[in-house]
Amino acid sequence: MKIMTMPTRPFPGQKPGTSGLRKKVREFAQPGYLENFVQSIFDTLGDCRGKTLLLGGDGRYFNDKAIQTVLRMAAAAGYARVMVGRNGILSTPAASAVIRKRGLSGGIILSASHNPGGPDADFGIKYNLGNGGPASESFTEAVYRRTQEISEYRMLEARDINLGHIAETTLGEMAVSIFDPVADYAELLESLFDFEKISELFVRDGFRMRFDALHAVTGPYAKAILENRLGALEGTVINAVPLPDFGGGHPDPNPVYAAGLVAEVSSPGSMLSFGAASDGDGDRNMVIGPNFVVGPSDSLAVLAANHSLIPAYAGRLAGVARSMPTSRAVDRVAEELGIPCFETPTGWKFFGNLLDAGKATLCGEESSGAGSNHLREKDGIWAVLYWLNILASRGETVEQIVRGHWRRFGRHYYSRHDYEALDAAGAEMLFACLRDVLPSLPGKPVSKTKVRMADDFAYLDPIDGSRSERQGVRIMLDDGSRIVFRLSGTGTEGATLRIYLERYESDPECLAIPVQEALTPLIQLAGELARITEITGRTRPDVIS
């Protein structure tokens, strides 16, 4: 076997977003495209000799081919060992768990998270650091700069590795370990929660739930934990086999793409008390009860308010953190607990410094993600187990718990409106116009209130002093309402405009208003301020969540 040095040229647009590089499969499949990006990662890391790399992904189309490419390039880079999840499967939270437990130098995760899969759909790749968390902005920026100047990549000339069996093999002088992708992760979760109490809920109390893995990566994990370890009935986990195209579905855990789950839990005569789902790579979650969907922002607040019921968090929380667009429901819990609440830009990597420094224990963002200091990624199954532990301890339904939370803390009416696949130039013009009017907005009358503050959110990291600019336009009103405009960094086609709308209500008589009705004045104001129809031609959002 010999190492080949292959001449190449830069590809435009290999700039990682909030969760790595995501493009269509057809782009990644171009000769040299994946290789350029991987070589740029290795070049940015520097000397890789003697180190151990973790490798795996969510099983989507092109995952198997990409793993073989990365293996041959890792051998050429001098890695001593690469650990690969069996069949190339490795959820994002499990990757973080393995890196941390085994003290690995880092890992490459092949996933486009909640984006659809298949030959005409999406693929993604990102690098996680030795703390188990996503690479910092400074690292990803250095990788991007390298992609713009790269002239060659290196690869071992070698056969494909059999990924289907747990085994030790070699690729040139590099060891390759095919390992069980579930074991370390399941062991970690069992150390956090009261598995005995949750098991009693299933076995003694006859509690029934449904977990929809959406034919994505969490199927094997949920089967092993919920059915095999906790004693949930066989068949509790559905769509459990990871498929390259996610069975033709969309691996995003929300009421639209998991409509079958919502219908099953809420159907007349259903024996199910609880439903849950996770996404393509296992870091997002949705939890529901009969005729009741828990919003991600409310979920984070409920988790924080009930931390004393969870063995790993029963003591005082160090603090909580949320992404800026996430509703401020958890802020009120933090205030009552007397702990800090940090507001960061979107992207789990921004929580890493807070977690490493012991400043935060629980973190979450509005895009169905929550996690804690047990990992450096958000964690879908962790959130589901947290809810199960709360249900087992309180003996109430999901709806009773959330409505009780609203009565105690007030309700943050909250919604996100997405305008997808916009012309990129038009989206940039919309934001330029928004930024131009920001200075004139404070004091502007709006319905029964007025604009208190308008800015473009910038974040100063309290740990390392780094600063992140232009993280979202915020319009804050005197009555506590808020509108946030942001361009998403997770799409692969055009631009996605996300508008976040939030209104706080503490009157017990006004806690059951339909969400979109409660937010109608803010929806109208957002359209006017951003001139959405005028600039984009769109009259309504593509997705409302």
**pLDDT score, position 17:** 83
**pLDDT score, position 161:** 94
% the chain with pLDDT above 90: 88
Buried b (16+ CB within 10 A) or exposed e, 279-295: bbbbbbbbbbbbebbbb
CA angle 127/128/133 to nearest 5° reads 145
Average pLDDT for 507-530: 92
**pLDDT score, position 206:** 86
Average pLDDT for 248-263: 92
The confidence band for 137, taking pLDDT boundaries of 50, 70 and 90, is confident
Q: Is the model's pLDDT at 447 over the cut of 80?
A: no
φ, ψ (nearest 5 deg) of residue 91 = -70, 155
Q: Is the model's pLDDT at 452 over the cut of 80?
A: yes
CA distance linking residue 499 with residue 474, whole number of Å: 10
Buried b (16+ CB within 10 A) or exposed e, 172-196: bebbbebbebbebbbebbeebbbbe
Q: Which of 15-24, 192-201, 243-252 comes out lowest in average pLDDT?
A: 15-24
The confidence band for 445, taking pLDDT boundaries of 50, 70 and 90, is confident
**pLDDT score, position 376:** 97
**pLDDT score, position 491:** 54
Q: Is the model's pLDDT at 248 over the cut of 60?
A: yes
Q: Which of 52-66, 365-379, 420-434 comes out lowest in average pLDDT?
A: 420-434
Q: Is the model's pLDDT at 457 over the cut of 60?
A: yes
Sequence-separated (6 or more) residues with CB below 8 Å from residue 209: 226, 232, 236, 272, 273, 274, 275, 276, 388
Sequence-separated (6 or more) residues with CB below 8 Å from residue 97: 132, 184, 185, 188, 374, 375
Q: Is the model's pLDDT at 61 over the cut of 70?
A: yes
Q: Is the model's pLDDT at 448 over the cut of 90?
A: no
113 classed as catalytic: yes
Average pLDDT for 289-318: 96
10 Å Cβ neighbour count for 35?
A: 21
The confidence band for 493, taking pLDDT boundaries of 50, 70 and 90, is low
Q: Is the model's pLDDT at 133 over the cut of 60?
A: yes
CA distance linking residue 175 with residue 52, whole number of Å: 9
- For 478-523, the DSSP string reads TTS-EEEEEE-SS-SSSEEEEEEEEEEE--GGGS-S-HHHHTHHHH
Average pLDDT for 443-466: 91
% the chain with pLDDT above 70: 99
Asked if residues 81 and 27 have their Cβ atoms less than 8 Å apart, the reply is: no
Asked if residues 330 and 324 have their Cβ atoms less than 8 Å apart, the reply is: no
Q: Please write the tens of the pLDDT for every residue from 319-329.
A: 999 999 999 99
CA angle 387/383/328 to nearest 5° reads 90
Catalytic pick among 19, 113, 372, 481: 113
Sequence-separated (6 or more) residues with CB below 8 Å from residue 204: none
Structural domains in the chain, sorted by start: 3-181 (3.40.120.10), 185-409 (3.40.120.10), 411-544 (3.30.310.50)
Asked if residues 497 and 418 have their Cβ atoms less than 8 Å apart, the reply is: yes
Average pLDDT for 499-513: 94
Average pLDDT for 118-124: 96
The confidence band for 347, taking pLDDT boundaries of 50, 70 and 90, is confident
Average pLDDT for 309-314: 97
Q: Is the model's pLDDT at 510 over the cut of 70?
A: yes
Asked if residues 219 and 247 have their Cβ atoms less than 8 Å apart, the reply is: no
Average pLDDT for 396-422: 95
Beta bridge partners, 175, equal: 81, 170
The confidence band for 164, taking pLDDT boundaries of 50, 70 and 90, is very high
pTM to 2 decimal places = 0.94
φ, ψ (nearest 5 deg) of residue 204 = -80, -40
**pLDDT score, position 367:** 87
The confidence band for 89, taking pLDDT boundaries of 50, 70 and 90, is very high
**pLDDT score, position 492:** 56
Residue whose C-alpha is closest to residue 41's, from 68, 14, 59: 14
Asked if residues 372 and 361 have their Cβ atoms less than 8 Å apart, the reply is: yes
Asked if residues 194 and 389 have their Cβ atoms less than 8 Å apart, the reply is: yes
The confidence band for 18, taking pLDDT boundaries of 50, 70 and 90, is confident
The confidence band for 489, taking pLDDT boundaries of 50, 70 and 90, is low
Q: Is the model's pLDDT at 486 over the cut of 80?
A: yes
Please give the mean pLDDT across all residues of the chain.
95
Average pLDDT for 218-240: 97
Burial class (CB in 10 A: 0-12, 13-18, 19+), 478: middle
Asked if residues 261 and 275 have their Cβ atoms less than 8 Å apart, the reply is: yes
**pLDDT score, position 449:** 87
Q: Is the model's pLDDT at 490 over the cut of 80?
A: no
CA angle 130/45/39 to nearest 5° reads 120
The confidence band for 474, taking pLDDT boundaries of 50, 70 and 90, is very high
